């Protein structure tokens, strides 16, 4: 059974209608109205999506705030209550906002979580992203599970190379999430220039994986943030490929490249950081990661120098969770299309994501979590116009301002969908 819940800090204006889809009870939210300049915005919005399996329920929680700082405390209180009431054990927790807000927001998170007696040792990734709605804090995303038996659960683990992470132990599989991996040298301090930090970052990730009985061949999804993305993305790709080649990625008979997002972002003063998700399974009957190397609208990214798959479908206990890599307006030949036109780029991006989901037996309405990266506010408003005019189904998403991997690209989106 898949359910969707929504809460607002102010009186909701959306029409939420219960419908039946293939025997599953679903609450679907109508398309979000386009925000007009100067229009009143809600203090916060919290959405909870759940998908049931035999041994666990998978949860995605998305919380966003408006420009009013007062919404942050209410958001964190609602999220903490949602996690506590359901007993959600987080696998990944990610916050987005300006650097100047980081310490204050994380302290308020600690206070809210402490009131609900939640685990304060869960590591958090903070990504500096400019809020498109104003203010200094965008919101948060939590991915976690609620176990149904004592054979399944998520615990905090640690190692010297990457620090704390989260280990999900399931029936016949382990899934490891290593957040905020940086290019920190063994003796402390960041490595030299940007390529040196990237090299050390991938080295540290490898050490962290080995500390928990895995290696790069187990990596299925990465989220990579570069502070100066457009200045050295090509060089970064060369460093990444050098670390992936020994693991056999992309070779005949070797492992498929992980799904990935590569976008502008930072957490502190580092040039780059990444989150890593790895899977160790006793066999496909327990858990399988099925790579999506190409889609009907886009060819394999390695053909134009980027080492990642278009997506990764995790199949566990008869259901699929599809992680779609960061996707932009790029055609099957690897060329940027609709240069300078944010509306057409938004449409192309949506269609590329929808094409992947269609092959997985799903659609945009199945998205349970997404992050939209826009080069500027005009691109964000163009995305909203396209969504409104085409009545695109509303789905939970975080929206931040960030450079995309090419100068001529204006929007990019990553997504997770359950099937």
Site of tokens 């999430």: 177
Kindly state the average pLDDT of the residues 237-242.
Answer: 93
pLDDT at 253 over 50: yes
Rg, C-alpha atoms of the chain = 20
pLDDT at 331 over 50: yes
Specify the pTM: 0.90
Pairing of strands 89-97, 125-128: parallel
Q: Are 225 and 275 in contact (CB under 8 A)?
A: no
The three-point CA angle 304-310-315 to 5° equals 155
What is the model's pLDDT at position 15? 31
Domains 1-150 and 152-283 are alike in CATH topology: yes
Cα(119)–Cα(142) distance, rounded to whole angstroms?
14
pLDDT at 76 over 90: yes
Kindly state the average pLDDT of the residues 114-142.
Answer: 95
pLDDT band at 33; cut points 50, 70, 90: very low
pLDDT at 305 over 80: no
Cα(164)–Cα(178) distance, rounded to whole angstroms?
7
pLDDT at 21 over 50: no
Cα(179)–Cα(230) distance, rounded to whole angstroms?
23
* DSSP string for 289-328: EEEE---SS---GGGGT---BSEEEEEETTEEEEEEEEE-
What is the model's pLDDT at position 285? 96
What is the model's pLDDT at position 304? 57
CA 153, 319, 301, 258: dihedral to nearest 10 degrees?
Answer: 20
What is the model's pLDDT at position 301? 62
pLDDT band at 69; cut points 50, 70, 90: low
What is the model's pLDDT at position 67? 73
Kindly state the average pLDDT of the residues 261-271.
Answer: 96
> What percent of the chain is modeled with pLDDT above 70?
88
Q: What is the pLDDT of residues 57-66, one digit of tens each?
A: 999 999 999 8
Q: What is the pLDDT of residues 171-198, one digit of tens each?
A: 999 999 999 999 999 999 999 999 999 9
Q: What is the pLDDT of residues 295-304, one digit of tens each?
A: 887 777 665 5
Q: Please provide the CATH number assigned to the domain covering 1-150.
A: 3.30.1330
What is the model's pLDDT at position 251? 80
- Among 223-232, 329-338, 362-371, the range scoring the smallest mean pLDDT is 329-338
Distances (CA, A) of 358 to 25, 396, 417: 21, 19, 11
pLDDT at 42 over 70: no
What is the model's pLDDT at position 14? 33
| Of residues 407 and 93, more confidently modeled | 93
Distances (CA, A) of 94 to 160, 197, 229, 349: 22, 22, 20, 23
What is the model's pLDDT at position 303? 59
**What is the rounded average pLDDT for all residues in the chain?**
88
- For domain 152-283, the CATH architecture is 2-Layer Sandwich (3.30)
Kindly state the average pLDDT of the residues 161-178.
Answer: 97
Kindly state the average pLDDT of the residues 90-107.
Answer: 96
Residue 52: in which H helix or E strand, if any? strand 44-52
* Domains in the chain: boundaries: 1-150, 152-283, 287-419
- Among 83-87, 130-134, 151-155, 185-189, the range scoring the smallest mean pLDDT is 130-134
Pick the CATH number of 287-419 from 3.40.50.150, 3.20.20.370, 3.40.50.920, 3.30.1330.40: 3.30.1330.40
What is the model's pLDDT at position 49? 97
pLDDT at 288 over 70: yes
What is the model's pLDDT at position 306? 63
| Of residues 182 and 38, more confidently modeled | 182
pLDDT at 5 over 70: no
């Amino acid at each position: 059974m898949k359910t969707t819940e929504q809460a607002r800090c102010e009186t909701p204006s959306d029409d939420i209608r219960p419908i039946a889809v293939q025997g599953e009870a679903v609450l679907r939210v109508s398309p979000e109205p386009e925000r007009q300049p100067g229009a009143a915005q809600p203090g916060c919005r919290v959405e909870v999506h759940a998908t049931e399996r035999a041994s666990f329920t998978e949860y995605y929680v998305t919380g966003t705030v408006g420009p009013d700082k007062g919404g942050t405390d209410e958001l964190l209180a609602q999220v903490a209550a949602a996690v506590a009431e359901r007993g959600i054990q987080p696998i990944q927790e990610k916050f987005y906002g300006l650097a100047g807000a980081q310490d204050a927001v994380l302290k308020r998170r600690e206070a809210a979580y402490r009131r609900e007696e939640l685990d304060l040792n869960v590591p958090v990734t903070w990504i500096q992203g400019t809020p498109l709605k104003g203010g200094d804090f965008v919101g948060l995303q939590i991915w976690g599970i609620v176990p149904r038996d004592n054979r399944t659960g998520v615990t905090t683990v640690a190692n010297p190379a990457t620090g704390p992470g989260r280990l999900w132990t399931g029936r016949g599989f382990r899934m490891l999430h290593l957040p905020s991996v940086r290019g920190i040298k063994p003796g402390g301090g960041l490595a030299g220039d940007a390529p040196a930090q990237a090299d050390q970052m991938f080295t540290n990730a490898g050490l962290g994986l080995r500390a928990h009985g895995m290696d790069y061949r187990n990596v299925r999804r990465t989220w990579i943030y570069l502070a100066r993305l457009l200045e050295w993305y090509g060089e970064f790709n060369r460093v990444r490929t050098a670390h992936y080649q020994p693991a056999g990625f992309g070779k005949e008979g070797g492992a498929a490249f992980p799904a990935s997002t590569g976008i502008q972002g930072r957490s502190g003063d580092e040039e780059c950081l990444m989150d890593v998700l790895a899977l160790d399974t006793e066999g496909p009957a327990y858990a399988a990661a099925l790579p999506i190397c190409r889609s009907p609208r886009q060819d394999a990214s390695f053909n134009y120098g980027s080492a990642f798959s278009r997506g990764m479908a995790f199949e566990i206990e008869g259901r699929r969770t599809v992680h779609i890599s960061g996707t932009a307006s790029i055609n099957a030949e690897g060329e940027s299309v609709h240069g300078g036109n944010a509306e057409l780029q938004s449409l192309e991006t949506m269609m590329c994501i929808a094409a992947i989901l269609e092959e997985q037996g799903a659609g945009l309405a199945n998205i349970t979590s997404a992050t939209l990266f826009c080069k500027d506010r005009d691109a964000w408003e163009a995305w909203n116009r396209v969504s409104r005019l085409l009545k695109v189904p509303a789905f939970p998403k975080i929206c931040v301002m960030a450079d995309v991997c090419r100068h001529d690209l204006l929007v990019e989106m990553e997504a997770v969908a359950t099937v």
